[in-house]
Amino acid sequence: MSLIHTCYRILDIDRSVAFYEALGFEERRRVPIRDEATNVFMSLPDDGPEPRLELTHNHGRSEPYEIGTGYGHIAITTSDLDGTLARLKEQQIEPERPPYTIRDGGNRLCFVRDPDGYRIELIERGA
C-alpha cells in the first residue's frame, strides 16, 4: 500500500488553486463529478505521476466547512524558508507566527493557512 493523496473540501476553486500554486503546487487535472462537484488534483513538481492533493469543490455550497478538532496539518519542505515566506507575502499569505524551531539544532518551521482555514506546515530543510 502507499498513500497517494489528501483531499480537502473547498469553497472557491480559483482562490484555492492560486494559494497552492503560491506554495509551488501545479494543477494536474480537473475532474467533474456529475453536476455535483469538481475535483482539482495538484502536485509538487517532483511528486511523480500521482497527484498529492485533491481539492473537492461541491457545487452550490457557500457555507464554510467545519475542519474539526481531529485535523492537524500537511507539511511541505523548502530549502529557503525566508525566500518562500517573502514570495508568499507578495500574495498576502502570512505565517501564523514567525519561523521557529522546536528543539536546539532542529529545522526552522512555520504555519500558513489556506483560504478554507487548513493549516500547512512549511519546514526548512537543506537542498
Secondary structure class of 41 (helix, strand, coil): strand
Task: For residue 50, indicate whether it is catalytic.
Answer: no
Q: Write the CA distances from 11 to 41, 77, 78, integer angstroms.
A: 15, 26, 27
In angstroms, the CA 88 to CA 83 distance is 9
In angstroms, the CA 56 to CA 69 distance is 20
The contacts of residue 31 (CB under 8 Å, 6+ apart) are 38, 39, 41
Given 26, 27, 54, 121, which residue is catalytic? 121
Positions annotated as catalytic residues are 121
